[in-house]
């Protein structure tokens, strides 16, 4: 009788587990809401026009097509029935013997959910194209307005959160403004753009050694990014961000800005709560499921939680970070546990091998910590390039991304600078429901808005 | 005093004209609703997951950044004030001395506008990603359903219109179903998909010599496409297409299908009507502005209309076809006329140099007519590849597209097979208004729908 494994989530953890569950005696079902695996570490490149979504996504069915014992199901898991051992899709149920949950995390606004519309986070392809549209539209607005303060608002970009994502995003926007868009406009100088990176701690990349944080900050400043440490956001509106410097005693500062991006907090995906309800598992402060050393849940050895959804303490009681390598290693480990169990074998607890961490800052600089080794600048960037290229699923993607990067590097051009929308952009207002949303104007709405701003310079000519 | 030229539309005609208006004494303003030039001939590749939008789009500001006498305006032209010689944007006006209108065409449903939602056409990036989503979703639905007739509906693709776009689209879907998606599914065989190409004339590609039409049809059939000639659509619904074979006397036929794509008719963009109102210019049956041999409008030598928006008869009174080469040559010609006028020189009328035509059918076959020369099969495909690569704006795009094509060719994989949506795909229902639209379900809605269909096969295991 075949052992039925259901994997929920086709991210790093889930995909790795699926890949490692080859045994003919096992039948794997991978359930995901999307039909592709997304290489999230490069999502900021899509958000800043450096790469296309397809460059960093691989269709799950294509990646796993050779796996005859594996079934990909495009569906959304609503709940888990631990007594009947079934995964509950919207109107459907699938039975499992072993369950691997790897649905990851989403952004978290610390109780300010209303900020989501004003300060989008970067987790999905749609987030990325939305942010790309917002950034490019801001420059277009600045080009068209005659109101200097509006121009300033448009050319001020605030990135909240000085972790890897925030640093990479701010650096890429710096690139875009100071290099890529040079000479693209006639009435503004994109180089005048203000890019602010707001970090709560006293340095960016707090998880790195201090000297690397410092190097990162200097690289950011070279790209025209202003780093504000010991600062936290107290309010966000359409045109204004309010931050407080240096703790509660510090003075508040108002920054006029039309583009605020969120890289501050993540929260485990909602399925964690369902698991807690069903199994009585504990959730940590950010909604992650507290798991045992073998990635299982107390009392449910058949349920594994891996990746960003799991709150996993290592031998020293240190919480494992929410990074791809952890998810990948956990996915591989869990697959091994299941395979060995079927052969009646026990498996030791999960041990995370930390191969270090690296973050890029703009076009040719990065910081990297590999064991004792600490790299920065161009060398680190090359290392970063190599590692990320090798990790990209699908040979073709690697070549494409490399070419595109090479192109970006040589031409300082970003090929994917498209303001795209959903509503059909055919010549007349289409019958399709146009997306009407302040924070993401459709191309047509952008055009409309821009037209509204006076345009005397041209008219006077 | 500088001569102010306004170009409306950054397509082939407009971009070519802008490129040719280099004189320092001329100040050019290019107005477009989108921030990029789109290489429409390859749009069907995006619709079938072969290329990414950015591969066939080039940001206008980037393409024209070196042109100091040129200003790109992202805006929508609502009307033209010929007496004051101003272009009217939504809430703005820009003055011109010479005006070049090149806003092209959109699809046309011959008075059945309600079909637009049921049978999307292929003109914009959004059309392409929407069609891509619809095609891929159909396969996902077929995979999940237990109802054989629903499966048939999902696996039946009807392309309406046997011109170049229809042929290329049908061929690419054939590729996708019979080659690319092979082994991607567990419960269906994508090779079982029915792809129907519905053409009103008695052969596909009626504008080609008959023997090439025949060759094209055979190539299509090799890709599993069924060609229905002398057939026209009488009705389209969510799940059914009704066609009538062989004229009005012919019998009607009902084809159950969830995916109907429109490649049948185009109509000139709406601005044509504004021009007619303002200048008294005549519009032809498909809304195109009837222009003189020098691309101007009677009584308005300062207004030029080029490309798909123009109804232009050549010396022999033959109407010029709505293809890129015509627009490109007209754009170049008009720029020349304007430059020579400023030097007090006259210019002869526009003469279209027909370098032939080519259409691709799937991965390695095409038909081409170059003067007397008639190519078909692989040779024609290579010629097609070369011509289209060379025409792609932006060096990087060419390399990228070539690599991607090479990848597709070798791996028979289509890297860009992404079902993307607009609504944020974060883990919980986002606050962004999700696009609720029968004909283009969001990824989440797809998942939901799929879940609704029973899934006993898996449950039973």
A302-346 pLDDT tens trace: 999 999 999 999 999 999 999 999 999 999 999 999 999 999 999
- Chain B's closest residue to A182, CA to CA, is B65
Q: Give the pLDDT confidence score for residue B344 in this predicted structure.
A: 96
Q: Give the pLDDT confidence score for residue A420 in this predicted structure.
A: 80
Query: What residues are paired with B32 via a beta bridge?
Result: B74
Give the C-alpha separation, B410 to A393, whole Å: 17
Q: Give the pLDDT confidence score for residue B139 in this predicted structure.
A: 96
- Residue of B186, B418, B430 lying closest to A54 (CB–CB): B418
Confidence of residue B395 (pLDDT cuts 50, 70, 90): low
Q: Shortest Cα distance from B247 to chain A (angstroms)?
A: 31
Chain B within 8 Å of A308 (Cβ-Cβ)? no
What's the pTM?
Answer: 0.87
State yes or no: pLDDT of A458 exceeds 50. no
Chain B within 8 Å of A53 (Cβ-Cβ)? yes
With an 8 Å Cβ cutoff, are A62 and B184 in contact?
Answer: yes
- How would you write chain B as a 3-class SS string? CCEEEEEECCCHHHHHHHHHCCCCCEEEEEEECCCEEECHHHHHHHHCCCCCHHHHEEEHHHHCCCCCCEEEEECCEEEEECCCCEEEECCEEEECCEEEECCCEEECCCCCCCHHHHCCECCCHHHHHHHHHHHHHHHHHHHHCCCHHHHHHHCEEEEECCCHHHHHHHHHHHHHHHHHCCCCCCCCCHHHCEEEEECCCCCCCCCCCHHHHHHHHHHHHHCCEEEECCEEEEEECCCEEEEEECCCCCCEEEEECCEEEECCCEEECCHHHHHHHHHCCCECCCCCEECCCCCEECCEEEEEECHHHEECECCCCCECCCCHHHHHHHHHHHHHHHHHHHCCCCCCCCCCCCCCEEEECCCCCEEEEECCEEEEHHHHHHHHHHHHHHHCCCHHHHHHHHHHHHHHHHHCCCCCCCCCCCCCCCCCCCCCCCCCCCCCCCHHHHHHHHHHCCCHHHHHC
- Chain A's closest residue to B439, CA to CA, is A432
Chain B residue numbers with beta carbons less than 8 Å from the beta carbon of A2 are 461
- Residue of B117, B125, B408 lying closest to A420 (CB–CB): B125
State yes or no: pLDDT of A410 exceeds 80. no
- Chain A's closest residue to B69, CA to CA, is A186
With an 8 Å Cβ cutoff, are A36 and B76 in contact?
Answer: no
In three-state secondary structure terms, A279 is helix
Catalytic choice (B86, B143, B168, B421): B168
- Chain B's closest residue to A62, CA to CA, is B184
How much of chain B, in percent, has pLDDT values that exceed 90? 67
Residue carrying structure tokens 């958000």? A47
Q: Shortest Cα distance from A103 to chain B (angstroms)?
A: 8
Q: Give the pLDDT confidence score for residue A412 in this predicted structure.
A: 63
Residues 6+ apart with CB under 8 A from B120: A424, B127, B130, B131, B134, B261, B262, B439, B440
The answer to whether B288 touches B268, Cβ cutoff 8 Å, is yes
A204-210: average pLDDT: 93
With an 8 Å Cβ cutoff, are A403 and B399 in contact?
Answer: yes
**Alpha-carbon separation of residue B220 from A221, B191, B230, B386, B417 (angstroms):** 57, 14, 17, 21, 22
Chain B residue numbers with beta carbons less than 8 Å from the beta carbon of A421 are 126, 422
A239 DSSP 8-state letter? S
Decide if B76 is catalytic.
Answer: no
Rounded to a whole number, what is the distance in angstroms from the first to the last CA of chain B? Answer: 81
- Residue of B34, B394, B450 lying closest to A75 (CB–CB): B450
Q: Give the pLDDT confidence score for residue B422 in this predicted structure.
A: 44
Average pLDDT, chain A: 87
With an 8 Å Cβ cutoff, are B57 and A418 in contact?
Answer: yes
Q: Give the pLDDT confidence score for residue A311 in this predicted structure.
A: 97
Which of A18-22, A302-306, A404-408, B194-198 has the lowest average pLDDT? A404-408
| pLDDT, tens digit (0-9, with 9 covering 90-100), for B413-446 | 666 788 886 433 333 333 223 333 333 334 444 5
Same fold, A3-33+75-107+267-342 and A113-263+359-380: yes
State yes or no: pLDDT of A454 exceeds 60. no
Catalytic choice (A116, A140, A168, A201): A168
- Chain B's closest residue to A74, CA to CA, is B447
Candidate ranges A89-93, B170-174, B357-361; pick with highest mean pLDDT = B170-174
| pLDDT, tens digit (0-9, with 9 covering 90-100), for B184-216 | 999 999 999 999 999 999 999 999 999 999 999
CA torsion B179→A20→A302→A3, rounded to 10°?
60
A427 DSSP 8-state letter? S
How much of chain A, in percent, has pLDDT values that exceed 70? 88
Tokens of A445: 């709405």
Q: Give the pLDDT confidence score for residue A396 in this predicted structure.
A: 67
State yes or no: pLDDT of B458 exceeds 50. no
Chain B residue numbers with beta carbons less than 8 Å from the beta carbon of A77 are none
Chain B residue numbers with beta carbons less than 8 Å from the beta carbon of A459 are 86, 92-95
Chain B within 8 Å of A452 (Cβ-Cβ)? yes
Domain boundaries, chain B: 3-33+75-107+267-342, 113-263+359-380, 425-460
Tokens of B369: 């007519």
Q: Which CATH superfamily is domain B3-33+75-107+267-342 in?
A: FAD/NAD(P)-binding domain (3.50.50.60)
B178-188: average pLDDT: 91
Chain B within 8 Å of A75 (Cβ-Cβ)? yes
CA torsion B453→B458→B459→B461, rounded to 10°?
160
**Residue contacts between A and B (CB atoms, under 8 Å):** 314
Chain A within 8 Å of B29 (Cβ-Cβ)? yes
With an 8 Å Cβ cutoff, are B400 and A396 in contact?
Answer: no
Chain A within 8 Å of B116 (Cβ-Cβ)? yes
State yes or no: pLDDT of A433 exceeds 80. no
The answer to whether B73 touches B29, Cβ cutoff 8 Å, is yes
- Chain A's closest residue to B66, CA to CA, is A183
Q: Domain spanning A113-263+359-380: which CATH class is it, in words?
A: alpha beta
Average pLDDT, chain B: 87
A21-49: average pLDDT: 93
With an 8 Å Cβ cutoff, are A54 and B454 in contact?
Answer: no
A445-461: average pLDDT: 40
Q: Shortest Cα distance from B74 to chain A (angstroms)?
A: 6
- Residue of A54, A91, A461 lying closest to B27 (CB–CB): A461
Confidence of residue A445 (pLDDT cuts 50, 70, 90): very low
């Amino acid at each position: 009788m075949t052992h039925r494994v259901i994997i929920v989530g086709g991210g790093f953890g889930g995909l790795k587990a699926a890949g490692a569950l080859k045994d003919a005696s096992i039948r794997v079902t991978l359930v995901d809401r999307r039909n592709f695996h997304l290489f999230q570490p490069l999502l900021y490149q899509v958000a800043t026009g450096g790469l296309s979504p397809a460059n960093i996504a691989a269709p799950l069915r294509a990646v796993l097509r050779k796996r005859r014992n594996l079934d990909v199901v495009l569906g959304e898991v609503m709940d888990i029935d631990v007594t009947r051992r079934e995964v509950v899709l919207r109107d459907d149920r699938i039975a499992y013997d072993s369950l691997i949950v790897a649905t990851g995390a989403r952004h978290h606004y610390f109780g300010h959910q209303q900020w989501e519309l004003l300060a989008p986070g970067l987790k999905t392809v749609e987030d990325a194209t939305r942010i790309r549209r917002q950034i490019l539209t801001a420059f277009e607005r600045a080009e068209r307005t005659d109101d200097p303060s509006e121009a300033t608002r448009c050319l001020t970009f605030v990135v909240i959160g000085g972790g890897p994502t925030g640093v990479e995003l701010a650096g890429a926007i710096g690139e875009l403004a100071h290099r890529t868009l040079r000479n693209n406009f006639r009435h503004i100088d994109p180089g005048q753009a203000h890019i602010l990176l707001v970090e709560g701690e006293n340095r960016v990349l707090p998880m790195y050694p201090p000297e690397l944080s410092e190097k990162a900050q200097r690289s950011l400043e070279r790209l025209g990014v202003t780093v504000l440490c010991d600062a936290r956001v107290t309010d966000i509106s359409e045109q204004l961000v309010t931050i407080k410097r240096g703790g509660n005693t510090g003075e508040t500062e108002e920054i006029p800005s039309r583009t605020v991006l969120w890289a501050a907090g993540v929260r485990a995906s909602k399925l964690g709560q369902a698991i807690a309800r069903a199994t009585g598992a504990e959730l940590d402060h950010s909604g992650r499921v507290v798991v045992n050393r073998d990635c299982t849940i107390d009392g449910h050895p058949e349920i594994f939680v891996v990746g960003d959804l799991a709150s996993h303490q290592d031998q020293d009681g240190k919480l494992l970070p929410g990074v791809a390598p952890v998810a990948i290693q956990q996915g591989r480990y869990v697959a091994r546990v299941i395979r060995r169990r079927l052969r009646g074998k026990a498996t030791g607890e999960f041990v995370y091998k930390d191969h270090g961490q690296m973050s890029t800052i703009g076009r040719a600089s990065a910081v990297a910590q590999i064991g004792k080794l600490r790299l920065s600048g161009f060398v680190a960037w090359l290392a970063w390039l190599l590692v990320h290229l090798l990790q990209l699923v699908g040979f073709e993607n690697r070549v494409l991304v490399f070419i595109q990067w090479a192109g970006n590097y040589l031409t300082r051009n970003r090929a994917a600078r498209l303001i795209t929308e959903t509503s059909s952009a055919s010549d007349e207002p289409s019958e399709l429901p146009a997306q009407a949303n302040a924070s993401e104007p459709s191309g047509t709405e952008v055009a409309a808005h821009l037209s509204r701003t006076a345009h005397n310079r041209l008219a006077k000519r």
